[in-house]
Amino acid sequence: MTQTLQKRTFTRRHALKVLGGAAGIAAIASPDTLLAAPGTSPFAVLRAQETVNLKWFMWSGSPAEVDAWKHLASMVTAKYPTIKIEFVTASWPDYWTKLPTEAAGGTLQDIISLQSLRTPGFADLFQPLTSFIDKDKFEVSAFDESIIGGLTYQDGLRALPYDFGPEVIFYNKDMFQKANLPFPKVDWTYDEFLDTAKKLTTGGKYGYGAWPYPDSWLPFALSDGATYLDSAGKLDLTNDSLVAAFSKYTELVHKLKYAPSIPSTKDTNYMQAQWMAGNVAMHVNGPWQMINFKSGVKFDFGIVPMPKGTKGSVTVSAGSGFGVSKTTKHADEVWKAVTVLTGPEAEQYLASAGRAFAARKDEQQYWYKNAVEGSQETLEAALKSVVPYKVTPQWQQVSTLLLQYGIPAMNGQTDPKDALTQVQAQAGG
């Protein structure tokens, strides 16, 4: 029953017939549509039957990911036949530029996506979900607590999470075997990491892929006890502990040369691509990439927690979810859609596809089942040592600037401290 159809048929004489039919269909299709309709006006019943077209804005980085999201959109329509979803996508960095533009232009999509590290910076664009949760008596406790915390800002949860996960090291098993090296153990140390990287660096290939995005190197710094925020939660990139840790990280490239030098680029996935191409043996990434690696690499690989530094193996975790945009005209439908997109079935699908380490605790098993061997042991170990990834509202800018200034520091052209000072000066405010 589409809008156009109604326009054509909605005359006084037909009204009753249409109404009768509509009510019948509504009752069969989903009993709660009728119950949810405010009042008893026949128009309310009719409206509940109109097709609602929702736009869903989400980042993506490969055809496999796009397919997974489109599949999820179809799951929503399968459950609520009157809700149709149009999937709109952008690359990871573009997504965060375009989201505010859409909001300012009054074209913000209905369902929008949020990553926990961007919560303080972008929460304003999302409606707090409290009232929806209360009304539906929605079970938030089915989700991992840390990611619920990560997506909460001031007056409430801003998005229902679909995934989360700690940063771990992905390694190319074929390269290890070729170099006659044992696979890294869950409790390996930084010295073992260095030694391994050294031995893997041969014949134009490198042991490790260093990358200046904070998610890639902060785990190393945290494992050495460094901090990047001061006690008041403000950005503090220039303290001695962090400068020392970042300097040590850059040395992997310019001094030890266990990691390749990097061209300047705005491709945030550059190093990931190098790893996928078999040019570097190890790199830091999250479990959400399993989907791309399983379909995109031609070698066996494994994952292992961050090597132990002076303060043990510490890592950060991040996760993402979907929320109701501030400006949507269909908040109730969006909420319904979001509950499906993050529902048990969707989570099972995403986890099995390797796109998401499920935020719903009961569905995490599906990720383990379909991931690579040893994943469960690694993730469980990593999750034990994970610290909350606290960020500032400018974290998006911090990440972009670290990518820009970190590259010459890694290539040995600028002092790592100067690079951090520049980022602090531009994004510390």
Partner 1 sequence: MDREDGRGFPLGQVISHGFLILVALLWLFPFVWMISTALKPNADVFAMPPRVIPTDIQWGNFKAAWNYAPFGRFMLNGLLVAGIGTFLVLLTSSCAAYAFARLDFPGRDNIFVAYLGTLMVPQEVIVVPMFILMKNLGWINSYQALILPWAFTAFGTFLLRQFFLTIPFELEDAALLDGASRFRILWNIMVPLATPALAVLGVFTFINYWNSFLWPLIIVNGQEHATVPLGLNIFMGQYGSQWNYLMAASTISILPSVLLVLATQRYLVEGIALTGLGGH
Partner 2 sequence: MRRAAQSEAVATRGAASWRIRRRRPRSDTVAAYGFLAPNGIGFLVFTLIPIGASFVISLYHWPLVGEASFAGTQNYRALATSDPVFWQVLRNTFSYVFGYVPLNILLSLGIAVWLSSKIRGKNLFRVIFFLPVVTPMVANAMIWTLLYMPQSGVIDWFLVNVLHISGPNWLGSQTLAMPAMIVMSVWQGFGYNMLILSAGLQSIPVELYDAAAIDGASSWRRFLNVTLPLLTPFLFFAFVMTLITSFQVFTQPYVLTGGGPGVSTTTLVLYLYNNGFQFFKMGYASALAWILFVIIMTATAIQFVAQKRWVHYG
Q: Which amino acid makes up residue 202? A: T
Question: In this structure, are residues 356 and 115 in contact, taking their beta carbons and an 8 Å threshold?
Answer: no
The interface partner of residue 53, options being partner 1, partner 2, none and the CB cut-off 5 to 8 Å by kind, is none
Rounded CA gap, 239 and 311, in Å? Answer: 17
Q: Which does 408 bind (CB under 5 to 8 A by kind): partner 1, partner 2, none?
A: partner 2
Residue 41 or 202 with smaller CB distance to partner 1: 202
| E strand intervals along 266-345 | 280-285, 301-304, 315-324
CA distance 43 to 326: 25
Residue 411 binds what, of partner 2, partner 1, none (CB under 5 to 8 Å, by partner type)? partner 2
- Would you count residue 346 as binding partner 1 (CB under 8 A)? no
| Partner touching 167 among partner 2, partner 1, none, CB below 5 to 8 Å by kind | none
- Tell me: does residue 107 bind partner 1 (CB under 8 A): yes
Please identify, using beta-carbon distances, which residue of 60 and 315 lies nearer to partner 1. 60
| Contact pattern from residue 349 through residue 388 relative to partner 1, giving x for each residue in contact according to CB under 8 A and a dash for the rest | ----------------------------------------
Among 52, 80, 102, 328, binds partner 1 (CB under 8 A): 102
Q: How far is the CB of 60 from partner 1 (least distance, A)?
A: 6
Contacts of 190 (CB under 8 A, 6+ apart): 220, 223, 307, 308, 309
User: Which of the choices partner 1, partner 2, none does residue 404 contact, using the CB cut-off of 5 to 8 A by kind?
Assistant: partner 2
Q: How many residues does the chain have?
A: 429
> Under the criterion CB under 8 A, does residue 216 sit at the interface with partner 1?
no
- In the complex with partner 1, which residue's Cβ is closer, 213 or 270? 270
Query: What is the C-alpha to C-alpha distance for residues 160 and 128, in angstroms, rounded to an integer?
Result: 10
- Long-range Cβ contacts of 88-94 (<8 Å, 24+ apart): 88/55, 88/56, 88/57, 88/58, 89/57, 89/58, 89/59, 89/60, 90/57, 90/59, 90/60, 91/59, 91/60, 91/61, 91/268, 92/59, 92/61, 92/268, 92/269, 93/266, 93/268, 93/400, 94/59
**352 to each of 97, 355, 356, how far by Cα in Å?**
31, 8, 8
Task: Name 142's Cβ contacts closer than 8 Å, sequence gap at least 6.
Answer: 360, 361, 362
358 binds, among partner 1, partner 2, none (CB under 5 to 8 A by kind): none
Q: Residue 403 binds which one of partner 2, partner 1, none, with CB within 5 to 8 A depending on kind?
A: partner 2
Nearer of residues 62 and 239 to partner 1, judged by Cβ: 62
Tokens of 132: 């929806």
Report the distance separating Cα 310 and Cα 378, nearest Å: 20
Q: Provide the minimum distance between the beta carbon of 204 and partner 1 in the complex, in angstroms, as a whole number.
A: 7
Closer of 239 and 426 to partner 2 (Cβ) = 426
Neighbours of 422 (CB within 10 A): 18
Under rule CB under 8 A, which residues in 247-306 are in contact with partner 1? 267, 269-270, 272-273, 276-279, 296, 298
Q: In the complex with partner 1, which residue's Cβ is closer, 267 or 345?
A: 267
Return the residue of 38, 39, 106, 263 that touches partner 1, per CB under 8 A. 106
CB of 150 to partner 2, least distance (A): 24
Closest separation between CB of residue 104 and partner 2, Å? 4
Tally of CB atoms within 10 A around 141: 9
Q: Which is nearer to partner 1, 275 or 366 (CB)?
A: 275
> Amino acid letter at 138?
F
Handedness of CA 112, 115, 118, 123 (dihedral sign): positive
Contact status: 91 vs partner 1 (CB under 8 A): yes
Q: Which stretch binds partner 1 (CB under 8 A): 85-93, 125-133, 314-322, 399-407?
A: 85-93
Looking at 24, 32, 94, 182, which residue binds partner 1 (CB under 8 A)? 94
The residue written with tokens 């009042």 in the block is 39
Name the site residues for partner 2 (rule: CB under 8 A): 97, 100-101, 103-104, 204, 260-266, 279, 397, 400, 403-405, 407-408, 411, 413-414, 419, 422, 425-426
Name the strand (E) or helix (H) holding 52: strand 52-59
DSSP label of 232: T
Which of partner 2, partner 1, none has residue 107 at its interface (CB below 5 to 8 Å by kind)?
partner 1
Q: What value, to the nearest 5°, has the Cα angle with vertex 17 and ends 16 and 22?
A: 95
Contact 284, 121 (CB under 8 A): no
Does 61 engage in binding with partner 1 (CB under 8 A)? yes
Which residues here bind partner 1, judged by CB under 8 A?
A: 57, 60-63, 66, 88-94, 98, 101-102, 104-107, 204, 267, 269-270, 272-273, 276-279, 296, 298
